[in-house]
Structure 1
Amino acid sequence: MRKILIVGAGQSGLQLALGLQAQGYEVTVMSNRTADEIRQGRVMSTQCMFGTALAHERDLGVDFWEDQTPRIEGLGVSVAAPDGSRPIDWVGRLDAYAQSVDQRVKMAGWLETFVERGGKLVVHGVTVGDLDYFARAYDLVMVAAGKGELVSLFGRDAGRSPYDSPQRALAVAYVHGLAPRPEHPDLHAVRLNMVPGAGELIVIPAFTTSGPCDILFWEGLPGGPLDVFDGVKDPREHLRITLELMERHIPWEYDRAREVELTDAGGTLAGRFAPVVRHPVAELPSGGLVLGVADVVVANDPITGQGSNSASKCAAAYLDAIVEQGDKPFDRDWMESAFARFWATAEPVTKWTNALLGPPPEHVLGLIGAAGQLPAVANRFANGFDDPSDYESYFYDPEAAGAYLASVAGA
C-alpha cells in the first residue's frame, strides 16, 4: 500500500485525502489545528462552490451539508453611480446551483470523517526540516497549506504572475438577518456590486456553524475609500464599518442589512495578498521533492470566487493522476504532469480573475450593460463562474464581444 502525506487540512488537502483513502491508499494528514479548534476559530475565507466543484464532493460522498445550505441559483451584477443609483442591475440564472459552506464547518467535519475512516491525523506545525524527513518516509508528500514557512519553498513563476503586490484589501463579515433582495425575494443569488474606482461588495448566501447566513465581502482598491479595515480587531467595529460603507456606496444593499448581526465572535476577517502562480515542485535540502497543491501554487484574488472551486478541481486532478500512476514513482516528471493537469482548469481562472482586477475595457462594460437587456448574456456570464474557460470565446476580445452581442440580439 502506497503511503502519502498531505500537509494542510483545507478544501484541497482534505478532499484529496478522503479521495485517496477511498482508493485504498495509506494517507496521513498533518494539520496545525484539531477539528474542534477549526470549528471554534475565526472564519478562514469566503467561498462559493459552483456545480463542477460540488459534483466532485458528491462523487466522494462528502457533501454532508448540501440539504442544509442555501441553494444559490443566480448571480447578479450591480454597478453603483455616485448618486447611489444602479445604472446596471441584473441577475443571471445558473444551470446548476452553487453553495457556500463555512470552511470551519466543512473542514472540521471532513477532518473527523477522515479519522473515523481510519486515516492518520498528526496535529502539529511542519517545518522544512520535518518535510525533509517525511520525504524519505512516504512515497509522495504534498503541501496543501497555503500560508506559512512551507509556501516559500515554491518559487514564484514570474511569467504567470503579472502582479507583485495585493490588488485588493479584503474584509469579510458573516451575518444573520440579511433581508432578501425585494426584486427577487425567493431567489438565492450571489450579488457582485461594483463601485467604480473603489472596489466591490460581494454578498454570498452561506451556511455556518449557527445555520444559514450571508457573507458581506468588501474588496477595496488599496489606498481607496474601501481600504479602511487595517488594524480593526473588534468584530463589532468591523461590522459597523462594513455597514457604514454599504450605506455610503451601495445603499440598496444597506437597505436589507439594517438588522444584521454577526454570526459569532469569529465571524470577521481582513487582510490582503498578492495574486501569484508558483512553480509546483519544491526541492528539499536533502534532494527530496514535494508537490504543491491548490493555492500553494495558484493563489488568485477572491474577486471571482474561485478559490474553493480551484482547490476542488486541483484535488480531483491530482487524485486521478495519483491513481493512474499505479506503482510507478512520483518523480519530478510526474509532479510536473500532475500540475499541468490542474493548470488546464486553473489557467482560465487566473486569466479571468486578473482581468477583473483592472479597470474594465469599453467592450467589457458593453457586455455587462447588455446583460441587463439580454438574459442570454446575463446567464452566460453567470455560468462562466463554473467554467471560466468559456470567457475565452467572447470576453477578452472587442471583436469577439461585438459579434457575440450581435448574434444574441439578432436571435
Structure 2
Amino acid sequence: MRKILVVGAGQSGLQLALGLQSHGYEVTLVSNRTADEIRTGRVMSTQCMFPRALGHERALGLNLWEQQAPRITGLGVSVAGPPPEEEPEGPLTRAVDWVGDLGGFAQSVDQRLKMAGWTELFTERGGQLVVHGAAVSDLDFFTRSHDLVLVCAGKGELVSLFARDAEHSPYRTPQRALAVSYVHGLGHRPELPDAETVRCNLVPGVGELFVMPTLTTSGRADILFWEGIPGGPLDVFGTVTDPAEHLALTLSLMERYTPWEYARATRVELTDAGGTLAGRYTPTVRNPVGRLPGGGAVLGVADVVVANDPITGQGANSAAVCAAVYLEAILEHGDREFDEEWMRATFARYWDSARHVTKWSNAMLAAPPPHVLSLIGAAGRLPPVADRFARGFNDPADFENFFFEPEKTEAYLTETAAALG
C-alpha cells in the first residue's frame, strides 16, 4: 500500500486526504489543530463554492452540509456612483445594479464547520492524524518514510520551500486590505426578497464589499467582506482586535460607501466572538516543487503555489479543483515513483485551469479599463451578459472569450444586443 503524507487540513488537504483514503492509500494528515480547535476558533475565509467545485466534493461524498447551507442562485454587481445632484453631500448612489443567474447553485460553508467535520471523518475512516505544526526539518524525515509528500499549508515556514514565479506574479505587495465579519440578522435586498445571492459592490478608487449567505456553526448567516485599496479609507482594520469594534467599523463604512447594503444591516450582530478576520497577503504564483535540505522533493498544492487575492472568490474553488486534479494524477500514476518530472507535470495539469483564475483575479485588482466598464454597465440592460458574467465565477476560462480584449468585448455586446432585438 502506497504511503502519502498530506500537510495541511484545509480545503485541498482534507479533500485530497479523504479522496486518497477512499482509494485505499495509507494517508497521514498533519494539522496544526484538532477538529475541536478548528470548530471553536476564528473564521478562516469567505469561501463561496460554485457548481464545479461543489461537484468535486459531491463525487467524493463530502457534501455533508448540502441540505443545510443556503442555495445561492444569483450573483449581483453594484457599482457606486456619486450622490444625487440635489444632495451633493448625501449618500452614494448605485450607478450600476444587476443580478446574473448562476445556472446552478453555489454554497458557502464556514470552514470551521467543514474542516472540523472532514477531519473527524478522516479519523473515523482510519486515517492517521498528526496534530503538529510541521517544519521543514519534519518534511526531511517524512520524505524518507512516505512515497509522496503534499504540502497544502499555505502559510508559514513551509511556503518558503517554493520559489516565487516572477513571470506569473506581477505584484510584490498586497493589493487589498481584507476585513471579514460573519453576522446574523442581515435582511434581504428589497428588490429580491426571496433570493439567495452573492452581492459584489464596487466602489471605484476605494475597494469592494462582498455580501454572501453562508452556513456557520450557529446556523444560517451572512458574510460582510471588505476589500480595501491599501492606504485608502477602508484600510483601517489593521490595529482592531475587538470583534465588536471590527463590526462597528464594518457597518460605518457600509453606511458611507454602500448605503443600499447598510440599509439591510442595521440589526446585525456577530455570529460569535470568532466571527471576524482581518489581514492581507500578496498574490503569488510559486514553483510547484520544493527541495528539502536533505535532497527530498515535495509537491505544493493549491494556494501554496497559486495564491490569488479573494477579489474573485476563487480560493476554495481553486483548492477543490487542484485537489481533484492531483487525485486523478496520483491514481493514474500507479506504483511508479513520484519524481520531480511527475510533480511538474501534475502541477501543469492544474495550471491549465488555474492560469485563468490568476489572470482574471489580477485584472480585477487593477482599475477597470473602459471596455470592462462598458461590459459591466451593459449587463444591466442585457440579461444574457449578466448571466454570462455571473457564470464566469464557475468557469473563469470563459472570460478569455469576452472580458480581457476590447475587440472581443465589443463584438460580444454587439452580437448579444442584436440577438435581443
TM-score by length of 2: 0.97
Alpha-carbon shift at residue 82 of structure 1 (Å): 2.8
Distance 2:387 2:236 in 1: 34
Partner of 1:55: 55
Encode CA deviations 1:67-123: one digit per residue, 9 max, x unaligned.
000000000000111311111000000111000000000000000000000100000
Aligned equivalent of 1:265, options 273, 277, 282 = 273
Partner of 2:66: 66
Distance 1:267 1:62 in 2: 24
Alpha-carbon shift at residue 143 of structure 1 (Å): 0.5
Question: What amino acid does structure 2 have at the position aligned with 1:7?
Answer: V
Alpha-carbon shift at residue 164 of structure 1 (Å): 0.5
Distance 1:51 1:222 in 2: 32
Instruction: Note the 1:8-407 alignment, pairs <5 A.
Output: 8-83=8-83, 84-407=92-415
SS of the residue aligned with 1:173?
Answer: strand
Distance 1:382 1:54 in 2: 16
Alpha-carbon shift at residue 133 of structure 1 (Å): 0.5
Alpha-carbon shift at residue 176 of structure 1 (Å): 0.3
Alpha-carbon shift at residue 271 of structure 1 (Å): 0.3
Task: Could you tell me which runs of 5 or more consecutive residues in structure 2 were left unpaired when the two chains were aligned.
Answer: 84-91
SS of the residue aligned with 2:81?
Answer: coil
Distance 2:352 2:10 in 1: 22
Distance 1:269 1:127 in 2: 25
Distance 2:399 2:334 in 1: 36
Encode CA deviations 1:255-288: one digit per residue, 9 max, x unaligned.
0000000000000000000000000000101110
Alpha-carbon shift at residue 246 of structure 1 (Å): 0.2
Encode CA deviations 1:282-311: one digit per residue, 9 max, x unaligned.
010111000000000000000000000000
Partner of 2:417: 409
SS of the residue aligned with 1:372?
Answer: coil
SS of the residue aligned with 2:94?
Answer: coil
Task: Could you tell me which runs of 5 or more consecutive residues in structure 1 were left unpaired when the two chains were aligned.
Answer: none
SS of the residue aligned with 2:93?
Answer: coil
Distance 1:344 1:311 in 2: 14
Q: How many residues align?
A: 411
Distance 1:170 1:85 in 2: 24
Distance 2:403 2:273 in 1: 41
Question: What amino acid does structure 2 have at the position aligned with 1:245?
Answer: L
Partner of 1:2: 2
Encode CA deviations 1:287-346: one digit per residue, 9 max, x unaligned.
100000000000000000000000000000000000000000000000001101111110
**Identity between Structure 1 and Structure 2 (%):** 70
Q: Which 4+ runs in 1 deviate beyond 2 A?
A: none
SS of the residue aligned with 1:87?
Answer: strand
Distance 1:182 1:65 in 2: 28
Question: What amino acid does structure 1 have at the position aligned with 2:311?
Answer: I
TM-score by length of 1: 1.00
State the Cα RMSD in Å: 0.4
Distance 2:75 2:388 in 1: 10
Distance 1:410 1:327 in 2: 56
Encode CA deviations 1:31-81: one digit per residue, 9 max, x unaligned.
000000000000011110000000001000010000000000000000111
